[in-house]
């Protein structure tokens, strides 16, 4: 018996040394996070090792990563022609060129103008607009959602897609395997398949125990992308769900912001969708990808209201994820925040920033930029809600105005600066969006659109509780300790 115990102890410490070796060699890991994982592996027998293999590395799996890189290398390497020597369009002031250069370094996209947009009034208007666009589609419909439920909104969109497929429109639907797991086992999914809709799930788990060995389960495709006929696209925070898909009594309505674009920006979202479709199905769609230029006519632009605002709106798609360039979305937020000179307003449902982004926010506030941060008063994640509060003191001391929205669960993801530049999309201001999830955003230079988004943010603030130092001082020591513990644990994710 003693010999078996000695053997088990030796094996355990050999595995611990292996975990320490992997943790210390993992690229791009913050030193504090490396040390934390080493301590977890050494001090918590067996469980610490299991936790490391579950959450310690940012990998969708060696085989998946290798296949994605191979497919992208073979198929996409010649499809991005832009270089850093290529000039930025002159409709964007030079003071913002560095922001779009950083965006270009991620996906190879250059900013494009000639886009029109419509900031949709609310979530119901977004579903109405989407169904109308699907009903009027002529050639193809591509849709990707992290969450697609079988509620009224989910069924309306699915039924519209089924009708479109029946009249000969090529329809492709891609959903995240975890976020939309209820849809995948529903009659709606089966009906779409039977109706000729091409369907697929992204990052399927399969055997959960095997998946834990091959890669992390919690790395998800968090994107929300719609492209119709290569000239209509949607970008924002909304999933294909009703506004009360979570318990309404607990959270209230989910509050989202969504923008409908028409123009060449749709083709960049098309690139992102096709890459995800390729990864999920190994099917390339070269004809759509090679449509580098196309013109829009007044008949093509489907209006969802009396008018569509603006006919230029220089924009650029940002697509990030664990198999893309490291720290890409964090770099985008940091560069935008640091460029603010007069005003900066950030809306995010989840606020757990890394050090560079947090310092950028505090620095511009200390430099005299009127800086505001709007987060939900109640969150669907108790961990994030608690960890977010640990940053309040530092933000207030730097001069940031802090608001907690009380009109529902604020899910909008917006950033506006100096009343002329902004960004929206699926990415939150947290480490999960920075390091773990696949995200898609659009950054734009347009004074009218930025003004509209700022008005939306001001509306959020009217229904918010402003946090001040008295609120922080009223927290008990155990509560403050709990907030700080959660924030300290966040780099381990």
Question: Any idea where the domains of the chain sit in the sequence?
Answer: 2-55, 62-317, 328-492
CB-based contacts of 297, cutoff 8 Å, min separation 6: none
* Cα 367 off chain centre by: 29
Q: Where are the alpha helices (DSSP H) in 352-463?
A: 355-366, 382-389, 392-398, 431, 447-462
Of 395, 414, 401, 390, the closest CA to residue 464 belongs to 401
Q: What is the pLDDT of residue 450?
A: 97
Please give the class, per CATH, of domain 328-492: alpha beta
Q: Please identify every stretch of the chain with a pLDDT value under 50, giving residue numbers as ranges.
A: 80-82, 291-309
Backbone angles phi, psi at 150, to 5 degrees: -95, 25
Q: What angle do CA 30, 38, 385 make, to 5 degrees?
A: 60
Which residues does residue 422 pair with via DSSP β-bridges, in sequence order?
Answer: 416, 444
Q: What is the pLDDT of residue 4?
A: 75
User: How big is the chain by its Cα radius of gyration, in Å?
Assistant: 23
The answer to whether 226 and 143 have CB atoms below 8 angstroms apart is yes
CA distance 53 to 216: 8
Tokens of 322: 């664990």
The answer to whether 385 and 351 have CB atoms below 8 angstroms apart is no
CB atoms within 10 A of CB 11: 10
Number of helices and strands in the chain (H, E) = 21, 19
Same-fold call for 62-317 versus 328-492? yes
CA distance 379 to 410: 8
CA distance 216 to 210: 10
Q: What is the pLDDT of residue 11?
A: 74
pLDDT tens-digit readout, 449-470: 999 999 999 999 999 999 999 9
Q: What is the pLDDT of residue 384?
A: 85
> 62-317 — its CATH code?
3.30.870.10
Q: What is the pLDDT of residue 193?
A: 96
CB atoms within 10 A of CB 107: 23
Tokens of 292: 């580098």
CA distance 289 to 271: 7
Enter the pTM of the model: 0.86
């Amino acid at each position: 018996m003693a010999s078996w115990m000695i053997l088990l102890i030796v094996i355990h410490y050999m595995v611990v040394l292996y975990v320490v070796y992997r943790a210390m060699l993992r690229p791009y890991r913050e030193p504090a996070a490396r040390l934390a994982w080493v301590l977890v592996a050494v001090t918590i027998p067996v469980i610490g090792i299991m936790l490391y293999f579950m959450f310690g590395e940012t990998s969708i799996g060696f085989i998946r990563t290798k296949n994605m890189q191979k497919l992208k290398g073979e198929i996409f390497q010649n499809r991005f022609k832009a270089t850093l020597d290529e000039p930025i369009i002159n409709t964007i002031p030079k003071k913002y060129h560095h922001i779009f250069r950083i965006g270009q370094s991620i996906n190879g996209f250059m900013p494009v103008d000639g886009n029109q947009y419509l900031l949709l009034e609310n979530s119901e208007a977004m579903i109405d607009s989407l169904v109308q666009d699907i009903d009027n589609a002529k050639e193809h419909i591509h849709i990707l959602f992290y969450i697609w439920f079988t509620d009224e909104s989910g069924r309306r969109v699915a039924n519209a897609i089924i009708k479109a497929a029946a009249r000969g429109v090529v329809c492709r639907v891609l959903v995240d395997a975890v976020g939309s797991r209820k849809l995948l086992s529903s009659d709606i999914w089966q009906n779409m398949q039977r109706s000729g809709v091409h369907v697929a799930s992204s990052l399927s788990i399969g055997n959960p125990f095997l998946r834990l060995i091959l890669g992390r389960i919690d790395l998800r495709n968090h994107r929300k992308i719609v492209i119709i006929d290569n000239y209509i696209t949607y970008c924002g925070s909304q999933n294909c769900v009703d506004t009360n898909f979570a318990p309404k009594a607990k959270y209230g309505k989910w509050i989202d912001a969504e923008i409908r674009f028409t123009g060449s920006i749709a083709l960049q979202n098309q690139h992102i969708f096709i890459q995800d479709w390729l990864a999920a199905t190994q099917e390339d769609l070269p004809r759509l990808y090679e449509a580098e230029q196309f013109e829009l006519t007044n008949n093509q632009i489907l209006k969802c209201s009396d008018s569509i605002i603006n006919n230029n709106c220089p924009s650029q798609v940002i697509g990030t994820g664990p198999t893309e360039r490291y720290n890409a979305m964090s770099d985008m937020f940091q560069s935008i925040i640091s460029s603010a000179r007069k005003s900066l307003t950030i809306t995010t449902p989840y606020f757990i920033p890394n050090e560079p982004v947090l310092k950028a926010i505090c620095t511009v506030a200390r430099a005299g930029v009127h800086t505001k941060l709007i987060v939900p008063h109640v969150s669907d994640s108790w961990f994030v809600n608690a960890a977010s509060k640990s940053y309040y003191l530092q933000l207030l001391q730097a001069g940031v105005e802090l608001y907690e929205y009380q009109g529902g669960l604020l899910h909008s993801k917006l950033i506006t600066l100096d009343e002329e530049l902004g960004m929206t999309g699926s990415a939150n201001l947290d480490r999960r969006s920075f390091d773990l999830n696949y995200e898609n955003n659009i950054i734009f230079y347009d004074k009218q659109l930025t003004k509209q988004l700022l008005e939306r943010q001001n509306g959020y603030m009217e229904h918010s509780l402003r946090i001040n130092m008295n609120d922080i001082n009223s927290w008990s020591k155990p509560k403050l300790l709990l907030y700080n513990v959660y924030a300290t644990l966040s780099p381990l994710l």
